[in-house]
Amino acid sequence: MEYVFQFGVIWQGRDAFLSGALLTLQLSAESMLLGVTIGILGAWAKTSRLAVLRGVVQAYVELVRNTPFLVQLLLIYFGLPRLGVRMSPDSAALLAMVINLGAYATEIVRAGVEAVPHGQIEAGRALGLRSWQIFRFVVLIPALETVFPALCSQFILVMLGSSVVSAISVEELTAIANTLQSQTFRPFEIYLAVGAIYVVIALAFEAAFGGVERILFPPKGASGQAPS
């Protein structure tokens, strides 16, 4: 059977593709910002001396990491209304993405915290700093520098995983592709274009992360001055 490609359907649906891509970017960027905040707080909690706090965070991490993202998404969107908490599909998608990323970011940041030399922590204690002050001023920046590449990789996975939220009718990129495919009956062209768009978005995020890394964590010894 001879298949005739008709890539004109991509151009015809350009506005819909753009709308879906922008929503994908928005959900991804917001979930990255909020998720890494939860990850930092979670990592601090796991270094706390309070066993109850450590146990709660550990339970959260294990629950999220050992259940499928789709199940988490459906539980939030369909389960919370039974408890009287109703939200739009976009809000439910964002909440699910933040909760999911927060658990993984917690473990990633925790690994960075454990990589900080213990002598630096003891020096902070010798200066009379409180636990949260040691975490903020002594531990956090070196820990983030250590795990920044791993965090960026997790961010990309979250962006790609956002395609799952089409299951609750969020009009992001994959949902747009499904709609256009059902209208045009050109699945090969539609999904090939969507795959290319995801590649472009991922590369754009990687470039942005690279710029952020150079600003926040410049190479050691790079003072910008010529040696005398």
Average pLDDT estimate for 212-219: 88
Average pLDDT estimate for 159-182: 94
Distance in angstroms (rounded) separating the CA atoms of residues 102 and 126: 32
- Residue 191 CB contacts under 8 Å (≥ 6 apart), including other chains: 177, 181
pLDDT score for 148: 94
Provide the H-helix boundaries in the chain: 8-12, 14-46, 51-65, 69-74, 89-115, 118-126, 131-134, 140-161, 173-184, 187-216
For the ranges 33-47, 67-81, 125-139, 140-154, the lowest mean pLDDT is seen at 125-139
Q: How sure is the predictor about 1, in pLDDT bands with cuts at 50, 70 and 90?
A: low
Q: What is the pTM of this model?
A: 0.89
Distance in angstroms (rounded) separating the CA atoms of residues 126 and 155: 37
Distance in angstroms (rounded) separating the CA atoms of residues 182 and 196: 20
Res 99 pLDDT > 70: yes
Cα-based distances in Å from 36 to 105, 116, 173? 6, 19, 23
Overall CATH class of domain 13-212: mainly alpha
Q: How sure is the predictor about 204, in pLDDT bands with cuts at 50, 70 and 90?
A: very high
**Lookup result for tokens 């630096």:** 120
Q: Is 188 helix (H, G, I), strand (E, B) or coil?
A: helix
pLDDT score for 227: 47
Residue 155 CB neighbours (<10 A):
25
Q: How sure is the predictor about 221, in pLDDT bands with cuts at 50, 70 and 90?
A: low
pLDDT score for 141: 87
**Cα 93 to the center of its chain, rounded Å:** 12
Q: How sure is the predictor about 118, in pLDDT bands with cuts at 50, 70 and 90?
A: confident
- Residue 69 CB contacts under 8 Å (≥ 6 apart), including other chains: 96, 100, 161, 164
**Sign of the alpha-carbon torsion through 40, 46, 52, 56:** positive
Mean pLDDT of the chain: 90
Domain ranges in the chain are 13-212
Distance in angstroms (rounded) separating the CA atoms of residues 154 and 103: 11
pLDDT score for 124: 79
Q: For 33-73, what is each residue's pLDDT tens digit?
A: 999 999 999 999 988 888 999 999 999 999 999 999 999 99
pLDDT score for 228: 42
Res 104 pLDDT > 70: yes
Percent of the chain with pLDDT over 70: 96
Percent of the chain with pLDDT over 90: 70
Closest CA to 73 of 51, 90, 60: 90
Average pLDDT estimate for 80-87: 92
Res 134 pLDDT > 70: yes
pLDDT score for 226: 47
